[in-house]
Amino acid sequence: MADTHTFLVELGTEELPPKALSRLSDAFRDGLVAGLTEASLAHGAVHAYATPRRLALRVDALAVSQPDRDLERRGPPLKVAVDADGAPTQAGRKFAEGCGVPFDQLGRLETPKGDYLLYQGVEAGRPATELVADIVARALGALPVPRPMHWADNDFVFVRPVQWLVMMLDEDIVPCELYGQRAGRSTRGHRFHAPADIALATAADYPACLEDGAYVIPDFALRRAVVHKATDALAGELGGRAVYDDDLLDEVTALVEWPVAIAGRFDAHFLELPREVLVSTLQAHQRYFPVEDETGELLARFITISNLESRDPEQVVHGNERVVRPRLADAAFFFDSDRRTPLADRRESLRNVVFQRALGSLHEKSTRVAALAEEIAQSLGYEPGPAVRAAALAKCDLVTDMVGEFPDLQGIMGRYYAEHDGEPESVARAIEEQYLPRFAGDRLPATEAGRVVAIAEKLDTLAGIFGIGQRPTGTRDPFGLRRSALGVLRILIEGEIELDLAGTLAAAASRIPGVEDAEGLGTELFDYMMDRLRAYYLDGVGALQAPIDVFEAVLDNRPSSPLDFHRRVEAVLQFTRLPAAASLAAANKRVANILRKAGLTDAAPVDPARLVEAEEKALHEQVVALAEEVGPLLAKREYRLALERLATLREPVDAFFDSVMVMAEDEGLRNNRLALLARMRGLFLQTADLSRLGG
């Protein structure tokens, strides 16, 4: 018998949802690996395959069986298990029977509490052939299926009806049944090019048997690369380059098993439409790749990926051109029609569009955002006019025909229509930038008015949804509050904008209908945003990644400005790299404990006349000197330089603790030393609580 197996499972289905295919494949692989690990089945590489009609996994070097396991069971006390003559009692015999061995094969276990019967044996590992079917079933049952469905009169559900099942260990079929299909060795090729069943001689033949003659590339990453390469090559032949979107590339890959790139064209007069309209029409609606020239101007061409090698490719081209033409004609009609009504004239229509039932209409929301934008702009020293005007018009494009048909163009069309209406450039750009950043890693607003409106819009949404008690829980976040919170933090930190976030949140909360305690709601919102800021640093969302203890050290000071918070984090991170860091962090922790146990809440002034020991005099002298030195640095928020100077306290602090009894019997002496430690710790606390460092 071979030392290991090659294991294969393939679930054939009706066409799987393309946007979920990669996620389903990854989850299937992860679930199988977790199941094999739990079953103690060693294995080599696990290869995942996914096409529109199949999810498959191949496991190399799968152990033939679980390893044998040593068993040890303690039985009843010896005085209960045997009688005075040494013969087994009923309790002893039953224990032996339960272990499946004669009584005389049991051992003895000596313990301080007495001797016991002991069984020692070996449990043989179960063969893989008995385990893999159940592991597969559990992995499939745990898939994040978007919308599970029934079919026929079955009791079970899956993402799509299951058509066939392959499950093999080497050349042998693993006998089982899943989703109404008995496992076999027959897979299927391309629906049209190779519709007949294909018998696999061995699990190792997969995926070569599909690639060679069956017109299927089962490896998702390989198929994606083929799509990318073929599209690039064809775009080059057209004298341009393809316009890619990663999500679209994934979706197209998930729609085909045998990708064939073909080129089409559309009427050149459609190039007069905004670029974003053309790209959205071609990508989002048709799943085509636009083509641009070397200057970035779109060409009247597109590339689509067919799922077959047609004997008459011109017919395929004409079919795709015929489909896209009315879509572009609709877009052109919407663009012309929408521009006949200025954005400002559409504002009244927002009264009829509900933002959220308890929070009123989009008109009410835009009014709140405009008022908050004015307050934010003034606090930042910006001219508030452009931001206020942009906020008032920000949602007007939502009632245009174009955005009704192409929701992904909201804000973008607002900019085009504002420019057409003669609005200032700053207003037009801010209308588009209100939604930035739209996703992780997206660009930030580049204009003053855009930053202000983006912040105000997101904070109003946060305050409103929190104000009506619909804080996000678990994975449920229908209003995208996590994204909004992180977006505001990114704008403030990465845009280097100094804003009192706590005060601004309270101001946003005060405008939400029905909110009685705006300060309390503002505090709740601030805490929520600090949770998002924790993720920003721990997950490395921005350029700076910081460990939890550094974040908590700064959070204890609750800086109201995220930019100020960020500069403190940078400073503490730099401090942790200094030779004195560990010693001073430990000293801060020790001092914090001493002060807490002593019940010292307010730092009393230090009386130099009561300083007795040379070490406490030296520490006091340096603390006084450093207080004068770091004060101006802290005022300018140069926290890194301040901590570098405070690092010079290492030697006098170490000497103080080596030679001075803090908790002296003399109350006056003790309190004076506590005051000295409190003042020393206070110098550090102006930046962060270093006692948090090191766990």
Instruction: Give pLDDT, residue 602.
Output: 67
Pair (160, 37) in one structural domain: yes
Pair (587, 646) in one structural domain: yes
**Which ranges in 543-649 belong to alpha helices (H)?**
548-555, 562-576, 581-598, 614-635, 639-646
Pair (50, 191) in one structural domain: yes
Q: Is residue 345 part of a domain?
A: no
Identify the CA nearest to 450 among candidates 435, 438, 433, 437. 433
Judge residue 296's burial from the number of C-beta atoms within 10 Å of its C-beta, 0-12 exposed, 13-18 middle, 19 or more buried. exposed
Structure tokens, 123 = 């449990």
Distance of CA 667 to the CA centre of its chain: 55
**Is residue 304 a contact partner of residue 366, using CB atoms and an 8 Å limit?**
no
Instruction: Give pLDDT, residue 1.
Output: 47
Q: Is residue 141 part of a domain?
A: yes
Pair (34, 78) in one structural domain: no
Q: How far apart are CA 626 and CA 646, in angstroms?
A: 7
Pair (43, 141) in one structural domain: yes
Q: Is residue 348 part of a domain?
A: no
Q: Is residue 334 part of a domain?
A: no
Q: How far apart are CA 226 and CA 253, in angstroms?
A: 9
Instruction: Give pLDDT, residue 637.
Output: 93
Structure tokens, 496 = 């280097």
Pair (193, 169) in one structural domain: yes
> Dihedral angle at the C-alpha atoms of 406, 409, 411, 414, nearest 10 degrees?
-70
Mean pLDDT per 10-residue segment, the chain (695 residues): 86 95 96 95 96 97 88 88 87 89 88 87 86 96 88 88 96 95 96 94 95 95 97 96 94 97 96 96 94 96 95 92 95 97 97 94 97 97 97 97 95 98 97 95 95 98 94 83 96 96 96 93 96 93 91 95 97 92 90 85 82 92 94 94 93 91 88 91 93 83
The tally of domains found in the chain comes to 5
Pair (151, 260) in one structural domain: no
**pLDDT tens for each residue of 319-341:** 999 999 999 999 999 999 999 99
Q: Is residue 671 part of a domain?
A: yes
Pair (136, 241) in one structural domain: no
Q: Which residues are CB-neighbours of 667 under 8 A, at least 6 positions away?
A: none
Instruction: Give pLDDT, residue 133.
Output: 95
Q: Is residue 74 part of a domain?
A: yes
Considering 545, 570, 590, which residue would you say is the last residue of a domain?
A: 545
Pair (169, 232) in one structural domain: no
Q: What share of the chain is helix, strand, coil (3-state, %, to 5)?
A: 55, 15, 30
Query: What DSSP designation does 65 have?
Result: B
Q: Is residue 451 part of a domain?
A: yes
Q: How many CB atoms lie within 10 A of CB 136?
A: 24
Please, what is the end-to-end C-alpha distance for the chain in angstroms?
Answer: 53
Instruction: Give pLDDT, residue 537.
Output: 95
Pair (601, 677) in one structural domain: yes
Considering 190, 211, 232, which residue would you say is the last residue of a domain?
A: 211
Pair (257, 278) in one structural domain: yes
Single-letter amino acid, residue 42:
A
Q: Is residue 476 part of a domain?
A: yes
Q: Which residues are CB-neighbours of 602 under 8 A, at least 6 positions away?
A: none
Q: How many CB atoms lie within 10 A of CB 343?
A: 26
| Block residue for tokens 């560990």 | 582
Domain that residue 85 falls in? 70-122
Considering 498, 522, 545, which residue would you say is the last residue of a domain?
A: 545
Pair (422, 489) in one structural domain: yes
